[in-house]
Amino acid sequence: MQVSSSAKQKHGTITSLTTLYARHQSAVVHFKEALSSSLDQNTQELVHSLIGLHEDCGQTIRKWIDDLPDSPVKPNRDLLSPAADKEPTDWSNEAKVRQHLLRHTQETHALYRQMLDNDGIPAGIKDLLESQAQGLSDSIHKLERLLSTGAARDMQV
């Protein structure tokens, strides 16, 4: 039996969304580990803010997945867990924590960009992904500024 191109696109979209959802869930768990260490208040606020961002993105994506027709799909393992999730993190070093948060956010943003390069993503979902990618981009700029200046003005991303 030959699968139609629209069925392949739907399957690809669900796979992409499932991968992003799993990535956000993984980030929430990973970043909560950081809160168990003795970080300064500014870095804790930053981590809380990033956890909130990942929870919001994950919940929104989960709603889209639930609204799509049932199809058993697993996340793309090649895209799911970049190196930043696999490497051990020294949560006691503030500078390393901030660098890790930046690298993790950059890798998640790159995943969004890669998925947005697909032409088969439906317009509504593409708009959602572009909006979330912009939020991650804003977070990256804030983290880069924080690392370069050390300024701890507003730690919310």
Residue 73 has pLDDT above 60, yes or no: no
Residue 139 has pLDDT above 60, yes or no: yes
Number of H helices, E strands in the chain: 6, 0
Percent of the chain with pLDDT over 90: 32
CATH architecture of 5-149: Up-down Bundle (1.20)
Query: Helical H runs in 36-82?
Result: 41-67, 77-80
Least confident of 66-80, 95-109, 110-124, 141-155: 66-80
Amino acid letter, 13:
T
Residue 68's pLDDT is what? 76
Residue 157's pLDDT is what? 58
Residue 90's pLDDT is what? 72
CB 101 within 8 A of CB 143: yes
Residue 153 has pLDDT above 60, yes or no: no
Residue 136 has pLDDT above 70, yes or no: yes
Domain ranges in the chain are: 5-149
Q: What is the pTM of this model?
A: 0.78
Residue 147's pLDDT is what? 84
Structure tokens given for 64 = 């889209």
